[in-house]
């Protein structure tokens, strides 16, 4: 149990502070598939917060429903990997769209989420120029994916039709890849995917020294 308590600190002592504990918010959800399709396996929906190691896997059923009880009041990024060939078309919380897939539970108020899944997902094949081993990051405003390559190529599947950016690293701490200010320091490749499309792109490798230099500026 817990609750957020805003406190303003001035030049006086803090007195009379009271904590009123309440149960954490509960949420229920549904994975909405096209009528002619069914989930082959129970879905896995994860809630990721900015707290180190704080990741919640919601209890899921084969019928596409999920449930989270007594959650910590925080902001979470909703992470769901749809079946192969599908992509996440939209996510709503209490009938309001979450375009960035960010779920705000800080007010301790629960509700319902709906994840709509659509077929004809796009994919992009990335070739890293002049390198065999590399880490390749692909992102939008709502998600970041990083894959390792041992032969200079990676394939990202189940992508929604929108604009993506891509960078390839000799090596990099993935915690920094998740920071927009860090990614913005590099010239990313832009690719726009349409529903069902398959793009082949080539990107240059960012050296370890170049990425380490930018990491130091953020510390």
User: Which residues in the chain come in under a pLDDT of 50?
Assistant: none
Distance, first Cα to last Cα, the chain: 34
The 3-state DSSP class for residue 212 equals helix
Confidence (pLDDT) at 1: 55
Task: Please say whether the beta carbons of 122 and 195 come within 8 A.
Answer: yes
How would you classify the pairing of strands 65-68 and 198-206?
A: unpaired
Task: Please say whether the beta carbons of 159 and 87 come within 8 A.
Answer: yes
| 217 Cβ neighbours under 8 A, 6+ residues apart | 185
- For the chain, domains (ranges, CATH) are 27-118 (2.60.40), 122-218 (2.60.40.10)
Confidence (pLDDT) at 50: 67
Which DSSP letter does residue 2 get? B
pTM exceeding 0.75: yes
């Amino acid at each position: 149990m817990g609750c957020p308590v805003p406190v303003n600190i001035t030049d006086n002592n803090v007195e009379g502070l009271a904590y009123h504990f309440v149960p954490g918010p509960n949420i229920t959800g549904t994975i909405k598939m096209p009528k002619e399709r069914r989930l082959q396996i129970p879905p896995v929906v994860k809630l990721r917060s900015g707290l180190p190691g704080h990741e919640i896997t919601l209890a899921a059923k084969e019928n596409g429903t999920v449930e989270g009880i007594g959650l910590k009041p925080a902001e979470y990024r909703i992470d769901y990997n749809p079946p192969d060939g599908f992509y996440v078309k939209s996510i709503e919380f209490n009938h309001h769209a979450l375009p960035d897939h960010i779920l705000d539970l800080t007010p301790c108020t629960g509700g319902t989420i709906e994840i709509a899944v659509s077929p004809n997902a796009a994919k992009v094949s990335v070739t890293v120029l002049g390198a065999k081993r590399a880490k390749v990051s692909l992102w939008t405003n709502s998600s970041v994916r990083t894959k390792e390559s041992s032969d200079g190529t990676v394939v990202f599947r189940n992508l929604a039709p929108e604009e993506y950016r891509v960078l390839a690293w000799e090596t990099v701490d993935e915690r920094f890849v998740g920071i927009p200010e860090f990614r913005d320091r590099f010239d990313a490749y832009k690719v726009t995917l349409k529903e069902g499309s398959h793009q082949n792109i080539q990107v240059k490798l960012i050296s370890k020294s170049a990425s380490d230099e930018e990491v130091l500026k953020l510390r």
